[in-house]
Amino acid sequence: MALPALVLLAVVAFAAALLWAPHAGRAAALHLILAVGAMPLIFGAMSHFIPVLTRTRTAAAGLLGIPVLALAGGALAVGALSLPELFWGRYAGALLALAAAGALLVWSRRRRAGMVGRPHPCLAWYEAALACLALALLAILASAVWPQQTIAFYRLHLHLNTLGFVGLTAVSTLAVLLPTVAGRPDPQVGPRLRRDLPWALAGTLLVAVGSAWFGPLAWIGGVLWAVPLLRLGASWLRLYRAEILALHGAAPLLAAALAGLALSMILGAMNFIPATGAFRATQPALVFVSGFMLPLVSGAASQLLPVWLRPGVQRSWHSGLRDSLGRYGGVRAALFCLGGVAAGTGHEWGLLLGAATLIWFLLQAGVALLQAFVFQKRNQS
């Protein structure tokens, strides 16, 4: 039950942060989303998927300590950003999260070394994502040594975290997950992931370094990142257009997440245009959260929660719960996109719309889970 609990934690943290953001510092709200909500969930999901990708035994129960360690680090970071007297928490939190990321990366490399044959190419994306997170956390620690570079290190940290850790994890997972949702394989997933990782990783590093010290590099990095996004989007439109445009299901949410990531990168690139005005008013981080992370997590949860709740052979219980979780997924996808665009262009109501849509999913999921378990008990009695 660890993964469903992490999903619930992430959804609640996202909604709370969106409602809190207008009244608190943007940095604290963003860390509540990324460090408290997303990071433990991603670590838990990686612990589930890495044995699948390496065709090895499932993770031991002790590995649950890694998401818990990450959660403790994230909570310290949020506390430090909310309460000035806890300034030391940002460094302590970074150390805890760095220990968690390092432990998961070492475990993944050991699984890779102990397997027979080649791992799924998605594993390399996960390991690159963990390496980016480690660099992002080291940047926070480095700011304590070179305080004159604090702003630059924070920008480096932000982009290594969003495009690197979250972005690399999400895009590689989306590439595998949407064909599963549609029930029709994409034969080019493996080759495309192998071909696209150097583009995405180089793009991440250039955007991060460019945002910190030399803006033109960020433009080059954005162009490199656009290559895997365009390839994946074109493949989806060719193979899964009907599922993406459907009223129900997880597919519209996953497609909205990919579009939200692309939009956040476009708005981020605008911020490097040497001019004032509307471009400078964009908030790519808010698009990243509202237009990308909210549909990503709710869409992935709609597909994966039944499996995580009852592993094993997939039966009518799983398909029924999946249908209930995905009901009106297309409507929620449109609302998340609208909220992301509004928030990213400076309209506070976009955050509220994203929070309301997420709370809708949370309530719908609660009703669906209650009905599913009541149905299960009746069948057992």
Query: What is the span of the domain harbouring residue 304?
Result: 270-375
Residues of the chain scoring pLDDT < 50: 275-281
Q: Is residue 52 part of a domain?
A: yes
Q: Is residue 34 part of a domain?
A: yes
In tens, the pLDDT along 126-176 reads 999 999 999 999 999 999 999 999 999 999 999 999 999 999 999 999 999
Q: Is residue 166 part of a domain?
A: no
Look at residues 120, 150, 176 and tell me which one is the last residue of a structural domain.
120
Look at residue 275 in the predicted model and tell me its pLDDT. 46
Task: Indicate whether this model's pTM tops 0.75.
Answer: yes
Look at residues 120, 151, 172 and tell me which one is the last residue of a structural domain.
120
C-alpha distances (whole Å) from 176 to each of 41, 101, 110, 255, 307 are: 18, 23, 23, 13, 16
**Contact criterion met (CB below 8 Å) for 365 and 371:** no
Q: Is residue 364 part of a domain?
A: yes
Q: Is the dihedral of CA 36, 39, 44, 45 positive or negative?
A: positive
CA 79 to chain centroid, in Å, comes to 22
Q: Is residue 90 part of a domain?
A: yes
- What is the tally of structural domains in the chain? 2
Q: Is residue 67 part of a domain?
A: yes
Q: Is residue 220 part of a domain?
A: no
Q: Is residue 367 part of a domain?
A: yes
**68 vs 104: CA distance, rounded Å:** 12
Tokens encoding 57: 């035994």
Tokens encoding 342: 């509004």
Look at residue 273 in the predicted model and tell me its pLDDT. 56
Look at residue 274 in the predicted model and tell me its pLDDT. 52
Look at residues 55, 89, 120 and tell me which one is the last residue of a structural domain.
120
Look at residue 168 in the predicted model and tell me its pLDDT. 96
Would you mind telling me the total number of residues written for the chain in this entry?
Answer: 381
* CA nearest neighbour of 100 among 136, 125, 146, 147: 136
C-alpha distances (whole Å) from 313 to each of 258, 293, 299, 370 are: 30, 29, 22, 21
